[in-house]
Amino acid sequence: MKRRVMYMVGVISSVCTAVLTIFGILVTNRMMYLKIKDSEFILQRETIAKRFDHQWFETVRKDDIWIPSPNGYNLRAIFLRPLDTTRTVVICHGVTENKVNSIKYARLFERLGFNSVIFDHRRHGDSGGKTTSFGYYEKIDLKAVVSAVRNRVGKRALVGIHGESMGAATTLLYAGTYEDEADFYISDCPFSDFSEQLMHIIRTEMPIRTSMSLRVANLFLKIRDGYTSAAVSPREVIKYIDKPVLFIHSLEDTFILPHMTEELYALKEGDKMIKLFEKGAHAKSYNDNPQEYLQTVKTFLNRFRLS
């Protein structure tokens, strides 16, 4: 009898271990190898929406740049120089997108007197990198990009960073982690804490809706990619950012909830500004409110003497 009980316990334990292993691999696969949008799809979408002007892009002064990442691959960047100025904004796209999605912001900053640098995050577009880490490794890449820009435009030039979604979280993680080289930041629909964002996704999209799901996912994420979701938290570093920050979000966003931006704004000390648009789904604030978005950025730049 005792032997039978031990056998059953062993079987149940093995089954549970196998189930958790399969679950952990499936969840981390979905995170690390998140399906990226097709480049042609992004180009057509932006062209049809008139956010990408092919003629402008073909004729504007620009330099293709390959920037070595400390993570061991190259990042594809394009330095767009429509204006005779050293003022420059580095633009960080969201997850599953690529640098073409950033061109609409490049045109916005051109109207405000800035050149821009657009680039592909790791594992996106033409850049290298095997996994997506939602800001953990991307912040290191961003540091390399900003340093390369500084080497080109000079230490005294006005340089800003604009980030959207994952790019916004990456921007804040960079700004709060390193001795940053930028003069201002614009953070459009960031998450304040990746663990909380994952729990929001788990509760709305997955069959196993408990915190145990997150603990299992983090165990396998640490083993497979070297970090956990707790290490991707703009909330924890926002207090270290002393440069001006403009926070943007749309109240209709149901993917990354707007209260996350409100939380970050409340925690940020010093110069800051927030704009919550009434209209717009996730990462659509500019698409649905282009003129008001432009005016918001202009007001921010003027308020903190960045123009």
Q: What confidence tier does 11 reach under pLDDT thresholds 50, 70, 90? A: very low
Q: What confidence tier does 235 reach under pLDDT thresholds 50, 70, 90? A: very high
E strand residue ranges, 202-267: 245-250
- pLDDT value, residue 1: 55
Check pLDDT > 50 for residue 10: no
Q: Which of 99-103, 175-179, 260-264, 285-289 has the lowest mean pLDDT?
A: 175-179
Question: What is the residue-averaged pLDDT of the chain?
Answer: 92
Q: Both 95 and 208 in a single domain?
A: no
Check pLDDT > 80 for residue 234: yes
**In the chain, what percentage of residues exceed pLDDT 90?**
81
- pLDDT value, residue 21: 63
Domains: count for the chain:
2
Q: What is the mean pLDDT of residues 79-106?
A: 98
Of the residues 231, 247, 282, which one is the last residue of a structural domain?
231
Q: Both 188 and 77 in a single domain?
A: yes
Check pLDDT > 70 for residue 15: no
CB atoms within 10 A of CB 232: 25
Q: What is the mean pLDDT of residues 3-24?
A: 53
The enclosing domain of 239 has a CATH number of: 3.40.50.1820
- pLDDT value, residue 9: 45
Q: What is the mean pLDDT of residues 7-27?
A: 56
C-alpha span between 228 and 176 (Å, rounded): 18
Of the residues 231, 254, 287, which one is the last residue of a structural domain?
231
And the tokens for 210? Answer: 């408990």
Instruction: State the pTM of this model.
Output: 0.92
C-alpha span between 178 and 119 (Å, rounded): 20
Packing angle between helix 138-153 and helix 166-177, nearest 10 degrees?
70
Packing angle between helix 194-205 and helix 211-225, nearest 10 degrees?
120
- pLDDT value, residue 209: 58
Contact partners, residue 194, CB within 8 Å, separation at least 6: 134, 135, 169, 229, 230, 232, 233
Contact partners, residue 184, CB within 8 Å, separation at least 6: 160, 161, 243, 244, 245, 246, 300, 301, 304, 306
Alpha-carbon separation of residue 302 from 106, 273, 295, 296 (angstroms): 19, 12, 10, 10
The whole domain housing 64 covers 37-193+232-303
- Residue 136 near residue 196, CB atoms below 8 Å: no
Q: What is the mean pLDDT of residues 267-290?
A: 98
